[in-house]
Structure 1
Amino acid sequence: MLLQPKKLKYKKFQKSRCIKKENSVTSIKFGNFAIKAIDFGYISAAQLESARIAINRVVKRSGKIWLRVFPNKPITKKPSGVRMGKGKGNVDHWVCCVGSGRILFELGGVKPNLAKNALKYASSKLSIKTTIIGVY
């Protein structure tokens, strides 16, 4: 099940620039290890879900995972072969705008080498450059 909000004020948003540097969620709060974004950009709900499943697969559901981002921005797309005009397309997928320095995933309750392997495998599923940080 992909992540998406239950209710929005507007069904379709305008495209906006993604924030380049994050100010709010830049340090580990819940777990011991985390994936931190180096680059900025959009991450889709499908990428987040596949990264979460990858972490669960490696740690064998032993630790706790915190997802620190949520895809709340709809991206619209018109079908292929449709002429220009005639309004905006339907919602195609959901993304979250991520700035550099943002914590994406946190992981706790597992051994350090297992956590690093899981987060490395999960970061390969994401479309932006990331690094793994830890609090020992």
Structure 2
Amino acid sequence: MPQMPKRVKFRKVQRGRVRGVASRGNTVAFGEYGLQVLEGGWLSAEALEAGRVTVAQFMRGEGRLYIRVFPHKSITSIPAETRMGKGKGEPEYWAAVIKPGMILFEVGGLPEQSARDCLARVAYKMPFRCRFVKRQAS
């Protein structure tokens, strides 16, 4: 089942726009390898879940997965062929707001080649261009 908030203060939110690059959440913090987004936009909870399932099937219990984003934004839509002036539509799905440079997924406890294969499969499911990144020595 896709992720969504347990409860929210307001059911409907304004669209807003994605500007600039990520200043937070842009480094590998928990695992050893990560999947970094190169474009901005909205990532639906369904796409996030598809990535999670792909990693779970690939790793089969070995290693650890960290999901670094959460779908906080409700995306609304109105039915097709509805006349203007009938108000805002109902929430259709939940999405995470993604800025370029954000880390979506991190994996740990895998050899580098396995992590590359795993995150390449996840990147194929994502609606953005992504790249494989390693943890920086600190």
* TM-score of the pair, normalised by structure 2: 0.94
Residue 90 of structure 1: aligned partner:
90
Instruction: Verify: 1:42 aligned to 2:16, yes or no.
Output: no
Alpha-carbon distance in structure 2 between the residues aligned to 1:57 and 1:7: 30
Name the count of aligned residue pairs.
Answer: 136
Residue 8 of structure 1: aligned partner:
8
Alpha-carbon distance in structure 1 between the residues aligned to 2:88 and 2:41: 23
- The letter for the 1-side match of 2:91 is V
Give CA deviations for 1:20-64 in whole Å, capped at 9, x if unaligned. Answer: 300011111110010001111111100000011111111112111
Instruction: Verify: 1:102 aligned to 2:102, yes or no.
Output: yes
Would you say the 8 A contact 1:35–1:104 is kept in 2?
Answer: yes
Would you say the 8 A contact 1:28–1:106 is kept in 2?
Answer: yes
Would you say the 8 A contact 1:76–1:91 is kept in 2?
Answer: yes
SS of the residue 2:125 aligns to: coil
Alpha-carbon distance in structure 2 between the residues aligned to 1:109 and 1:74: 34
- The letter for the 2-side match of 1:86 is K
Would you say the 8 A contact 1:58–1:114 is kept in 2?
Answer: no
- State the shift of 1:113 in Å: 1.1
SS of the residue 1:131 aligns to: strand
Alpha-carbon distance in structure 1 between the residues aligned to 2:81 and 2:62: 48
Would you say the 8 A contact 1:45–1:94 is kept in 2?
Answer: yes
Residue 69 of structure 1: aligned partner:
69
* TM-score of the pair, normalised by structure 1: 0.95
Percentage identity across paired residues of the two chains: 31
Alpha-carbon distance in structure 1 between the residues aligned to 2:63 and 2:14: 38
Residue 55 of structure 1: aligned partner:
55
Give CA deviations for 1:69-115 in whole Å, capped at 9, x if unaligned. Answer: 00000000112232222111100011111111111100001121111
Would you say the 8 A contact 1:39–1:128 is kept in 2?
Answer: yes
Alpha-carbon distance in structure 2 between the residues aligned to 1:106 and 1:89: 35
Gaps of at least 5 residues in structure 1 are none
SS of the residue 1:12 aligns to: coil
Gaps of at least 5 residues in structure 2 are none
Structure 1 segments of 4 or more deviating over 4 A?
none
